[in-house]
Amino acid sequence: MMNALKAEDGTRLTKRFDMERRIKEYYTSLFASKSVVPLVEDNREEDEMPPILISEVRTAVQSLKADKAPGPDGITNEALKFGGYELWKIIAKLFNECLENEDIPTQWKQSLTIIIPKKGDREDLKNYRPIALLPTIYKLFTKVLVNRMTRQLDEQQPREQAGFRSGFSTIDHLQVINQILERTKECKIPLCMVFVDYEKAFDSIEINAVINALVRQNIPKKYIRTLVNINTGCSTSFRLFNNNIAIPINRGVRQGDTISPKLFTAALEDVFRTLSWENRGIMVDGELLTHLHLADDIVLFAYNVKTVAEMLKELNEASTRVGLKINRAKTQAMKNDQCASENINLDDDTILFVNKYTYLGQTITQDHKVEDEIRRRRSAAWFSFKNIEEILKKTKNTTLRAHLFNSTILPVLNYGCEVWTMRESDK
């Protein structure tokens, strides 16, 4: 339960009415379109769309996770799973009608939103992540659509993007970064990196930017028109102190929607394609590497501060055109001793240089030492142990105790250890 919120001017609000008004103001502004993104002309020929099969519905249903909160329709994932063939047959017919009409029922465009606190001041709404509880049937429909589009969208993604892709993980990018740090340190090669953070990236991307990306990435026109209508006339309700606060949604992809990750990465790739970075970056195995990104977690590479500053400026300009805003406070830079000391300025803000940065859950240090990360892993493992300590005290079942250790503590302790370069003193 929230006890207080800060107004835009920093005033502390403690009355329920004032807090509700602040939430309405903040999220109305967040979900309001800020940039005019003209739609590109789509002169492609129509593709013939096969009907949605019962087997596609079954596959989508079987991928649903158990024990998830239902949306406004009150339908649980378990109900869809236990419904069986006859229910899936009816759902397939409904989905085919939606695809034929290129639209969905109005009820599917309404959602409930809960806000999850992140790190930082809990009285600042910027430190909350909005999660949309969407109608379960709607999410099933978009799951069927994304299953059809995944292969085509993934083929459009470069190796630099590891987010929401089969066969890719955070470890891939961590391995690349650690190898770069190791080689540049060993060979005394200058290296400068900028870790880019966007403010509310999923919530602020313009819908037209997403649609343009899908057109350029050759997604069939019928799917695109359906997605346009899906994202027209949407609204969500925040529930605070037993009152519903209705907010219209005019931009962003909804966190909680099965199709949102693919739509966002498609739009972000469209942003990077506008950048002329052919002669930028650092050389890795005979190829220039300018950046890595996992969804919106981005790191830029260059041999000097001036170049990476230009890259950041160009990325900021391209991002702004599609509604994305770089968070100046959380975007940070790192360089080794071979790089000359210069400032990185973004408009009127100066980007902070740091000696260590947590990227994809791992502490990256300027001198490429792992002591900080090992300490962090130990601390996180102890925290995980404390979470299950009471359960362990209540059971003498060694199998259960071992299972709890292996499933909750060991993954936290060992995360990213595959890419560590350890010295004898670290062992």
**What CATH number is associated with residue 325?**
3.30.70
pLDDT category, 175, cuts 50, 70, 90? very high
Taking every pair of Cα atoms in the chain, the longest distance, rounded to a whole number of angstroms, is 68
> Based on the domain organization, do 24 and 148 belong to the same domain?
yes
Last residue of a domain, one of 346, 365, 384: 365
Q: List the one residue out of 405, 408, 402, 414 whose CA is nearest residue 376.
A: 414
> Based on the domain organization, do 382 and 350 belong to the same domain?
no
CA–CA dist 197, 200 (Å, integer): 9
Dump pLDDT digits (tens) for 349-380.
999 999 999 999 999 998 888 888 999 999 99
CA–CA dist 324, 202 (Å, integer): 9
Structural domain includes residue 164: no
Q: List the one residue out of 163, 45, 39, 145 whose CA is nearest residue 98.
A: 145
Structural domain includes residue 120: yes
Structural domain includes residue 193: yes
> Based on the domain organization, do 44 and 108 belong to the same domain?
yes
> Based on the domain organization, do 14 and 67 belong to the same domain?
yes
> Based on the domain organization, do 340 and 385 belong to the same domain?
no
Q: What is the pTM of this model?
A: 0.89
Structural domain includes residue 204: no
Cβ atoms of 297 and 265 closer than 8 Å: no
> Based on the domain organization, do 59 and 85 belong to the same domain?
yes
Mean pLDDT (whole number) for 183-212: 94
- Residue bearing tokens 């409904």: 94
> Based on the domain organization, do 222 and 318 belong to the same domain?
no
pLDDT confidence of residue 332: 97
pLDDT category, 47, cuts 50, 70, 90? confident
Count of domains for the chain:
3
pLDDT confidence of residue 244: 84
Question: What average pLDDT does the structure give for the chain?
Answer: 92
> Based on the domain organization, do 296 and 236 belong to the same domain?
no
Dump pLDDT digits (tens) for 372-420.
899 999 999 999 999 898 888 888 888 998 999 999 999 999 999 989 8
Structural domain includes residue 264: no
- Give the CA angle between residues 356, 361, 363 to the nearest 5°: 20
Structural domain includes residue 263: no
Mean pLDDT (whole number) for 21-47: 90
Last residue of a domain, one of 317, 346, 365: 365
The percent of residues above 70 in pLDDT, for the chain, comes to 99
The tokens describing 414, both together, are: 């060992």
Structural domain includes residue 400: yes
> Based on the domain organization, do 412 and 293 belong to the same domain?
no
Dump pLDDT digits (tens) for 260-309.
999 999 999 999 999 999 999 999 988 999 999 999 999 999 999 999 99
pLDDT confidence of residue 315: 97
Residues 6 or more apart in contact with residue 38 via CB below 8 angstroms: 208
pLDDT confidence of residue 206: 95
CA–CA dist 264, 254 (Å, integer): 10
Structural domain includes residue 92: yes
Q: List the one residue out of 116, 80, 112 whose CA is nearest residue 95.
A: 80
pLDDT category, 1, cuts 50, 70, 90? low
Dump pLDDT digits (tens) for 73-129.
889 999 999 999 999 999 999 999 999 999 999 999 999 888 888 888 888 998 888
> Based on the domain organization, do 179 and 297 belong to the same domain?
yes
Q: What is the 3 state secondary structure string of 197-211? A: CECCHHHHCCHHHHH
> Based on the domain organization, do 143 and 28 belong to the same domain?
yes
Dump pLDDT digits (tens) for 310-332.
999 999 999 999 999 999 999 99
Domain that holds residue 37: 5-157+209-257
> Based on the domain organization, do 283 and 378 belong to the same domain?
no
Please say whether the dihedral angle defined by the alpha carbons of residues 312, 316, 322 and 327, taken in this order, is positive or negative. positive
